[in-house]
Amino acid sequence: MTANRSCRVTPLGDSAVLVQFNQTIDLETHRMVKSLAKDLGQRPLPGMIEYIPAFASIAVFYDMLQTSFTAIRSGLLDLAASLEQQIDDRPNTVEIPVCYGGELGPDLEFVAKHNGLTEEEVIQIHSGNEYLVYMIGFAPGFPYLGGMSEQIATPRRQTPRLSIHPGSVGIAGTQTGVYPIETPGGWQLIGRTPTALFRPSEHPPSLLQAGDIVRFRPISREEFDRRMEQGI
């Protein structure tokens, strides 16, 4: 990749900077974010503490006693100018089993009625797509997924739930995601997976990483219960 004309590096507080690639969420921007994140992981800048990639930007935190905004900004611009898109022809694909509807997906009926579909059609559409993990955020291991069909897009609940079970699969607007831990939330819940997305005893603790491809596979309640008992 040649110099990125849309790359901007601006202060983020007194000990961090924000590298902004674009104002839109798309695959090209995601690849630039992923490429810079990979470079920072392999060649950390002097004084850098950590970096946090998002949809279209990366926040870079640094130690003010070891470096300065000017030095960090210069290093980041140099990296951005020499980036090569590291496009993996075989991205990591993760299949996530989901038991849709019933008590595990209490909002499936609402999503179907909102879009003039049957519950089975919602399941077919949701499980029939591949999803790109744009970023991990909100809660440890929570994946923000791109690629959901607008046919099943549904607004958030007017009143968020105070507690959502880990593994709950939800829809909010044109996005879908999986709650990795118990947390409040306002997404429409259409199912639940027995697969743990956040595993604090493992490294990395998040099952999914930015750039992964996710496929949802419908399973029966019997298989869901069996997997929960076996921890798989």
Please report, in tens digits, the pLDDT of each residue of the chain (232 residues total): 333 446 889 999 999 999 998 777 777 787 788 888 888 988 899 999 999 888 888 999 999 999 999 999 999 988 887 775 454 556 789 999 999 999 999 999 999 999 999 999 999 999 999 999 988 888 889 998 988 999 999 999 999 999 999 999 999 999 999 999 999 999 999 999 999 999 998 888 999 988 899 999 999 999 999 999 988 7
In this structure, is the dihedral angle defined by the CA atoms of residues 167, 133, 153 and 129, taken in order, positive or negative? negative
Output the pLDDT for position 90. Answer: 63
Q: How far are the Cα atoms of 95, 99, 100 from residue 108, in angstroms, in the given order?
A: 21, 11, 8
Output the pLDDT for position 92. Answer: 87
For the chain, the domains span 8-81, 93-230
Strands ordered across the beta sheet of 16-20 = 8-11, 16-20, 57-62, 48-53
Output the pLDDT for position 93. Answer: 93
- The fold of 93-230 is Cyclophilin (2.40.100)
How far apart are alpha carbons 225 and 64 in whole angstroms?
Answer: 51
- The fold of 8-81 is Gyrase A; domain 2 (3.30.1360)
**Are domains 8-81 and 93-230 of this chain identical in fold?**
no
